[in-house]
Chains A and B, each alone.
Chain A
Amino acid sequence: EPEVTQTPSHQVTQMGQEVILRCVPISNHLYFYWYRQILGQKVEFLVSFYNNEISEKSEIFDDQFSVERPDGSNFTLKIRSTKLEDSAMYFCASSSRGQTYGYTFGSGTRLTVV
């Protein structure tokens, strides 16, 4: 069964450093998303991406965050200057038809900012 692949599975970084989280969505999917989940809290929407541009972003997704689809397969989330409160699980998801079929989530990247 096709899956969404995320790397790395766990990243530890120092406060103020830049991190790039990587995702390979399912190949025929057109809609891409990043969500985060702080430990013990809900899954929160960060950003959606379609047709090579951001469709929607949350208020969490400030100037420190950016997304890119640098080639036909990868989808990345960059955090420019990490803060302690950025520590969370980050999930990439993709979908073929937007709302109709739900998302397929990747296994996540656990980001720990120290």
Chain B
Amino acid sequence: RKEVEQDPGPFNVPEGATVAFNCTYSNSASQSFFWYRQDCRKEPKLLMSVYSSGNEDGRFTAQLNRASQYISLLIRDSKLSDSATYLCVVRSADKLIFGTGTRLQVFP
């Protein structure tokens, strides 16, 4: 079983749509949680950290459920520029463990 699992997608949504991504992790001792964004042939870039209390950054909302070992990302009012691969990342034993990513394609 992979340490971090994500639905690979792709998710094809129209502009303005709301889209949600989910992620599960296997190591209950994991310490920190993040969503990264990776554009084609580029390095990953931190989108936001994820906290149990939930956190919001503009159109992006992230949630963490430690009991279920489940992480989510909600994108509201999708823009064309949101098209990318979204990586669920977990810090375990001082290492970042990356999910395979979920591909999002926003169309006009």
| A and B together in one complex | no
Q: List residues of A whose CB falls within 8 A of some B CB.
A: none
Q: List residues of B whose CB falls within 8 A of some A CB.
A: none
